[in-house]
Amino acid sequence: MEVTNVMEYEAIAKQKLPKMVFDYYASGAEDQWTLAENRNAFSRILFRPRILIDVSRIDMTTTVLGFKISMPIMIAPSAMQKMAHPEGELATARAASAAGTIMTLSSWATSSVEEVASTGPGIRFFQLYVYKDRNVVAQLVRRAERAGFKAIALTVDTPRLGRREADIKNRFVLPPYLTLKNFEGLNLGKMDQANDSGLASYVAGQIDRTLSWKDVQWLQTITKLPILVKGVITAEDTRLAIQAGAAGIIVSNHGARQLDYVPATIMALEEVVKAAQGRIPVFLDGGVRRGTDVFKALALGAAGIFIGRPVLFSLAAEGEAGVRKVLQMLREEFELTMALSGCTSLKEITRDHVTTDWDLPR
Ligand code: FNR
């Protein structure tokens, strides 16, 4: 049967993937309250469409950190994509390029920065986890720069791994035929089996819990690439990120995989947008599954959005073709939402095009 929306890939992936892998991709932390809320919150935002506007031409293009892309829909970093499909991150990179948009490669990819670069031209960001060994970090950032990556997305919500109970039950571990390719030569590419989540143990062993704002400044001494701070959900941290020299913010709760009972990202977005005062762009990820979700995020002030799980599930179902299809479906739904709302370019999407249950009565 034909796939007609992004959500349908989840069920297909569930049938195809080993339970350990599907659960790792799908699950959130603890009660998974935030996981459900990331989706539910979108349904509490309704449209105020404008009518009788010529929508025969719609322009979805935008510019992110100076790079022109075909639509404000980008790919979030997600780890270990070769568990989904043999081509893993390479298929994702090709699909993103074909769609004219940005892919963010995870530090924990099962393909290296060089391998991803060799798939051909494309605008790519590199997501960074900061290891205790700062030489490892400096080397990795240099390699990403050399491989033509255009920005660093510094993940700041993971001093420790969130408690993902499915991974604990399944004793999740990277399958032995795969490696965290970026760390292969550094003896950090393998994950040991543990008596809980192998990834949680890996993080506890290698990731630097002391990471703080001064390290954001340190990062700027080792790279000229712009830094996006990924994982901000408050006004306070927005102001600190700007002070620390961030080029942008990604409002993210890590796909609800870290601290449970944080708000849905779409609920936190406006607070961050207001605090940023237009000084740096604010992006969002978490629960985006429809073109209407993309529109809602832009109406609430996002400069663009990123998708995580839809890439993994479509990759598992159909490889590169699946990821292309996800991007195409979201593009078409978003274009239709713009048309039916009376918007012909992204700058025409305003706060008045949506109403939320936290707005005052008009
Ligand atoms: C992630 N995410 C993530 N983030 C990051 O900074 N580095 C990483 O390696 C990963 N890995 C990862 C693996 C898996 C399986 C998932 C589901 C997520 C978080 C990701 O970048 C993004 O914030 C969320 O996935 C967005 O939410 P949705 O679109 O999955 O709802």
Ligand 1 pocket mutation pick from 152, 211, 257, 307 by most atoms within 8 angstroms of CB: 257
List pLDDT tens digits, range 24-33.
999 999 999 9
The pLDDT of residue 358 is 77
Residues paired with 250 in a beta bridge? 230, 283
List pLDDT tens digits, range 169-183.
999 999 999 999 999
Q: 245: number of CA atoms within 13 Å, CB side?
A: 15
Please tell me what DSSP assigns to residue 57: S
Query: What does each C-alpha distance from 345 to 177, 314, 334, 335 come to in angstroms?
Result: 46, 28, 11, 10
Task: Read off the tokens for 332.
Answer: 């078409």
Residue nearest to atom 6 of ligand 1 (CA): 155
In whole numbers, what is the pLDDT of the chain averaged over residues?
A: 97
The pLDDT of residue 1 is 79
Nearest atom of ligand 1 to the alpha carbon of 285 = 26
For 357, other C-beta atoms within 10 Å of its C-beta total 9
The helix-helix angle for 309-341 and 19-26 (nearest 10°) equals 40
Nearest atom of ligand 1 to the alpha carbon of 250 = 23
DSSP secondary structure letters along 112-181: -HHHHHTT----EEEEE--BSSHHHHHHHHHHHHHTT--EEEEE-S-SS----HHHHHTT----TT---G
Cα dihedral: 219, 221, 225, 227 (round 10): 40
What is the spatial distance between Cα 191 and Cα 189, in angstroms, rounded to a whole number? 7
CB 27 within 8 A of CB 11: no
* Ligand 1 interacting residues, C-beta cut-off 6 A: 24-25, 38, 76-79, 106, 108, 127, 155, 230, 252, 254-255, 257, 285-288, 307-309, 312
What is the spatial distance between Cα 303 and Cα 293, in angstroms, rounded to a whole number? 13
Residues 143-149, mean pLDDT to the nearest whole number: 98
Confidence of residue 187 (pLDDT cuts 50, 70, 90): confident
Distance 351 CA to ligand 1 centre (A): 27
Q: Where are the beta strands (DSSP E) in 45-156?
A: 45-47, 62-64, 67-69, 73-75, 103-105, 124-128, 151-155
What is the spatial distance between Cα 289 and Cα 311, in angstroms, rounded to a whole number? 11
222: pLDDT strictly greater than 90:
yes
Nearest atom of ligand 1 to the alpha carbon of 286 = 27
List pLDDT tens digits, range 303-345.
999 999 999 999 999 999 999 999 999 999 999 999 999 999 9
Confidence of residue 362 (pLDDT cuts 50, 70, 90): low
What is the spatial distance between Cα 73 and Cα 43, in angstroms, rounded to a whole number? 19
Residue nearest to atom 25 of ligand 1 (CA): 308
Residue nearest to atom 16 of ligand 1 (CA): 78
Instruction: Pick the more confident residue, 15 or 195.
Output: 15
Residue nearest to atom 18 of ligand 1 (CA): 78
Local structure of 151: helix, strand or coil: strand
CB 140 within 8 A of CB 108: no
Q: Of these residues, 85, 254, 257, 289, which one is catalytic?
A: 254
What is the spatial distance between Cα 262 and Cα 43, in angstroms, rounded to a whole number? 18
The pLDDT of residue 360 is 67
CB 156 within 8 A of CB 123: no
Chain CA centroid to CA 83, Å: 18
Nearest atom of ligand 1 to the alpha carbon of 26 = 17
Q: Of all residues in the chain, what percent carry a pLDDT higher than 70?
A: 99
The pLDDT of residue 361 is 62
Ligand 1 pocket mutation pick from 254, 258, 265, 289 by most atoms within 8 angstroms of CB: 254
List pLDDT tens digits, range 256-280.
999 999 999 999 999 999 999 999 9
Q: Is residue 254 annotated as part of the catalytic site, yes or no?
A: yes
Residue nearest to atom 13 of ligand 1 (CA): 78
Task: For residue 8, give the H/E element and its range.
Answer: helix 8-16
Local structure of 56: helix, strand or coil: coil
* Assembly ipTM: 0.99
Distance 343 CA to ligand 1 centre (A): 30
Confidence of residue 193 (pLDDT cuts 50, 70, 90): confident
Distance 151 CA to ligand 1 centre (A): 17
> Which of 84, 97, 183 is closest to 148 using CA atoms?
97
List pLDDT tens digits, range 63-114.
999 999 999 999 999 999 999 999 999 999 999 999 999 999 999 999 999 9
